Structure 1
């Protein structure tokens, strides 16, 4: 392992940070249970009448769905490898004047962690950090044979932002994220630029997209999609079939990305943001890490990923949403943007 990947080898926390869990607020818990368990193939636990959790591995919680009106992702939980690294991150946040508070025992229990600390994040998505997840020996009961987590974390989150450089600066400041690459894409005549940031060996844990030359956001939800990685190609394709058969909306058909080479499809969750189910992306291990240089890819996909069921009405709804969003400023945390231009 190169020094760049050894947590605690210097002031950097890169390599010691992993996406641990996602918190969603929704009134559609029954739909979420059917979607996550029956369609996607995750293990489900009905934690209480007002919450359910999905497992992918021995962690007690990878997705927490809590009853509430947002129909959106409300928090991202990041696992930190050790106490020293955790303390460095806390110091970065506190020293810049951003409040960081310990979550209460009920919050920790719901998320399947021993303790957690919360602080403000871009677009109003709370960022939560923890060191010790609660694990369980209880066997997984699910239609999938398995999911890829471990050192790469849960998966990744993709966000459309009107303030992409501020968001990139935020994750560089807090987690020492590294720029993996860019994608330039033309969608319906609009030029989109996507930045892919990694915090460990996963090709990217955060993707940040913006429309070049104009500050618009056509999405109602804070996130565009959450990604999970199937253990096998058969698992990924089987879940694609179940999503379709059970009547959940498919957004993008199976295809392969230009940059991380992941095969995947995108479907719409009961809360309206998308879930990408993928297989076999590039892993930036120690050898690749030591020589990696960011590059720009033209287009999101090598093949596939064609839109499914898009109509003039859905385009019009996106245009209306963009106008609505333009009336309010996007939430940033300026103390943590690292001085990068907005």
Structure 2
């Protein structure tokens, strides 16, 4: 059962959608080849320091700007209307957290009219906007299409040493609801994953932690980003292109236990993973009215077998975990809903 209170009358649930991902990387040529040639996205070369990927009529779904982070630096959330926008702003400012309006250049690069930014867990800036910029320019991409719309761009998965704090953050800001849990054993470590939804997509945020120990074995702030293919053929074709073009595959094609999505995971040029999926459960109004969280044992019904793990990669993960253990994880206690540890 969800331990959070029942939604209040001023809930913003259902009026928030993941709109775009902002990445900082010095590997723009690799990103171009990865996004356009392997995954099958529409690519625009904005300037020598900027790439953008389109999936639909939005001018920007992925923004890749030159820089040294090699990581996701911001998540952009579309808010349906000004009333909802004002509620979210008030929740942040009433708790003493500053909000900064993005510059005109930042908004233009992200394909939105205006945006406001505030601090997020693990140092990932949260950006909200109401009006995206669209274009009638036809998509030039190998895929036949991607599923966005009311469900938003996809989802973000984050490995955290402070999972309750992070869950509290997204509940406080966006009235997220718990869809379910997965318990998984990874290399002898017990992992718990919380899946949070903010609209009809089964989850827009997944938060994983290793039970009993506060370790984080990955360098990047996000573990993976998910996008949803319109057809099974599209998903399988991109899987083959990723392999043929020599990009690293992390997990083979498989099906998840909770949302039933078929997907594979590959590694982006910046080091975090991209999950390309197809046909997950949609929690529409009828399901929403009766949905109860469950706990699933294991991530996958079948497939999702690891690809290319070596002793050296395991050692690198262990070394990264030791380094992270000496560095406190960035939390935002003002917005943790009293759940910060």
Shared topology, TM-score over 0.5? yes
Question: How far 1:150 sits from its partner (Å)?
Answer: 0.1
Q: SS of the residue aligned with 2:35?
A: helix
**Partner in structure 2 of residue 295 of structure 1:** 294
Residue number in structure 2 paired with 1:207: 206
Correspondence for 2:100? 101
Give the CA deviation at 1:225: 0.2
Write the distance in 1 (CA, Å) between the matches of 2:138 and 2:337: 44
- The equivalences for 1:107-146 within 5 A come to 107-146=106-145
Alignment match, 2:168: 169
User: C-alpha displacement at 1:10, in angstroms?
Assistant: 2.7
> What SS does the aligned partner of 2:289 have?
helix
Query: Is 1:182 the equivalent of 2:181?
Result: yes
Q: Where do 5+ consecutive residues of structure 2 fail to align?
A: 1-6
Q: CA deviation at 1:341?
A: 4.3
Between the aligned partners of 1:132 and 1:161, the Cα distance in structure 2 is 31
CA distance in 2, matches of 1:165, 1:46: 40
Counterpart position of 1:83: 82
Instruction: Tell me the residue number matched to 2:279.
Output: 280
Could you say what secondary structure the match of 1:321 adopts? helix
| CA deviation vs aligned residue, 1:102-138 (integer Å, no higher than 9, x gap) | 0000000000000000000000000000000000000
Partner of 1:327: 326
The 2-side partners of 1:70 and 1:290 are apart by 42
Question: Could you say which residue in structure 2 is the equivalent of 1:247?
Answer: 246
Equivalents in 1 of 2:332, 2:186: separation in Å? 29
Q: Is 1:338 aligned to 2:337, yes or no?
A: yes
Which position in structure 1 is the counterpart of 2:40? 41
Q: What are the Cα deviations for residues 50-91 of structure 1, in whole angstroms up to 9, with x where unaligned?
A: 000000000000000000000000000000000000000000
Note if contact 2:162-2:340 (Cα within 8 Å) is conserved in structure 1.
Answer: no
How large is the Cα RMSD of the aligned pairs? Answer: 0.9
Counterpart residue number, 1:3: none
CA positional deviation for 1:340: 1.4
TM-score (norm 2): 0.98
Distance between the aligned counterparts of 2:340 and 2:134, measured in 1? 41
Q: Hey, what does 2:159 align to over in structure 1?
A: 160
What is the CA–CA distance in structure 1 between the aligned matches of 2:9 and 2:48, rounded to whole Å? 46
Contact 2:196–2:205 (8 Å) recurs in 1: yes
- Give the secondary structure class of the aligned counterpart of 2:36: helix
In the other structure, the counterpart of 1:17 is 16
**TM-score, normalization: structure 1?**
0.97
What SS class does the counterpart of residue 291 from structure 1 fall into? Answer: coil
Which residue number in structure 2 is paired with residue 60 of structure 1?
59
Deviations along 1:29-50, one digit per CA (max 9) or x if unpaired, are 0000000000000000001100
Q: Give the ranges of 4+ consecutive aligned residues of structure 1 lying more than 2 Å apart after TM superposition.
A: none
Whole-Å separation in 1 of the counterparts to 2:178 and 2:46:
38
- How far apart, CA to CA, are the structure 2 residues paired with 1:117 and 1:185? 37
3-state SS in 2 of match to 1:92 = helix
1:170-216 deviation digits (Å, cap 9, x = unpaired):
00000000000000000111000000000000000000000000000
